[in-house]
Amino acid sequence: MSVALGLTRPLVVRTTPVDDPVDLISRLPEAAPYAWIRRGEGLVAWGEAARAVVPPGPGRFGWARDWLAATLGAAHVDDGVGVPGSGPVAFGSFTFDENSPGSVLVVPRIVLARRDGRAWLTTVGGEPLDLVTAPREPGRIRYGDGSLSAPEWEHAVAGAVERIRAGRLEKAVLARDLTATADQAIDVRVLLARLSGRYPDCYTFSCDGLVGATPELLVRRTGETVESLVLAGTTPRGADEADDRRRGAALRASGKDRHEHTCAVESVRTALAPLCSELEVPGEPELLVLPNVQHLASPVTGRLAAGASVLDVVAAMHPTAAVGGTPTPVALDVIRELEGMDRGGYAGPVGWIDARGDGEWGIALRCARIDGSRARLFAGCGIMGDSVPAAELAEAQAKFRVMQYALEG
């Protein structure tokens, strides 16, 4: 077995049907929980049966694929359920920048899942013995500037606009961070419960300290079928129903937002086409209405060629224009030049994969990095040639509210 695995013997995995747990998050112990939940369904997990720190660099997804093949492929598996997400599962988080350290893959010791009227429990190496305690409130939250103050970030946006108008690129996505300090160590379960309750149509996730509720599905693989949801173009929710409709109509009619959305859709089409024998891309975007913002959204579906796992698709798609820009290589250079920070896992792929190659991966948006009593919140905006720095700052503030709600309640 590869030395990189850190395993002395193959994993022993058992999956059995269980009664519906109803509330997955309530079954989690406090220590380092993993989660992927939408509309009350998905997977929660805890403990570590195997862990890999993925080396940074252009070959990181290939390294991760090989590690997973060796670790999950060598496992002794008794799977009495046989659906996507049963048997051995790995949760993962990859940094936005391929050259940044911090990408991880973890095979949890315990996975509890529910989907389509079925529920199951997977154990690796024995029965679960972890004690579930009552969730703890974090107490008072104090906020501070992240890498750039608000005026400094507006200046960075103006710099991106100048580069776009000069013809260097079409679009750049600039991110902001915000620090938060709580009175107590932050209990991730509290954040997960609030996020999944308030944003049921998003994918609430937790992986290695990165916690959030992303509206953006990078890819779902179920057998030969692959799905992606492209989001680009955003407006805040209105003060009332009429204002909401006006804002939605204005978003649909916005040349800037429509062009931004088209760039994002084309980047996904370009990435998926070589991997798929069939690909369906809608001609017009839909409007996705969330509690805090509205997005232009395009669901993309395809049929994969034989042998491609969900991680192969992730590798081909990241970074999309929705979180990087267009053209991507130039946009990444502009991000490194102007943003003034390392994003870490923000806007990187986060999700899970099973031994069949099925899985779900989102883009880590509306999220925070949790470390004890401290949190680092992230938000990003797509910058175009006619972007106004003050308006982009307001959009970022609207996106911060997701994690501020999770922290404050």
129: exposed, middle or buried (C-beta count within 10 Å: 0-12, 13-18, 19+)? exposed
Angle, CA of 285, 287 and 290, to the nearest 5°: 140
3-state SS string for the chain: CCHHHCCCCCCEEEEEECCCCCCCHHHCCCCCCEEEEECCEEEEEECCCEEEEECCCCCHHHHHHHHHHHHHHCCEEEECCCCCCCCCEEEEECCCCCCCCCEEEEECCEEEEEECCEEEEEEECCCCCCCCCCCCCCCCEEEEECCCCHHHHHHHHHHHHHHHHCCCCCEEEEEEEEEEEECCCCCHHHHHHHHHHHCCCCEEEEECCEEEEECCEEEEEECCEEEEEEEEEEEECCCCHHHHHHHHHHHHHCHHHHHHHHHHHHHHHHHHHHHEEEEECCCCCEEEECCCEEEEEEEEEEEECCCCCHHHHHHHHCCCCCCCEECHHHHHHHHHHHCCCCCCCCCCEEEEEECCCCEEEEECCCEEEEECCEEEEEEEEEECCCCCHHHHHHHHHHHHHHHHHHHHC
Return d(Cα 319, Cα 203) in angstroms, integer. Answer: 19
Judge whether 304 and 277 are in contact, CB under 8 Å: yes
Parallel/antiparallel/unpaired status of strands 103-107 and 41-46: unpaired
Which sequence positions are flagged as catalytic? 171, 216
Return d(Cα 45, Cα 380) in angstroms, integer. Answer: 29
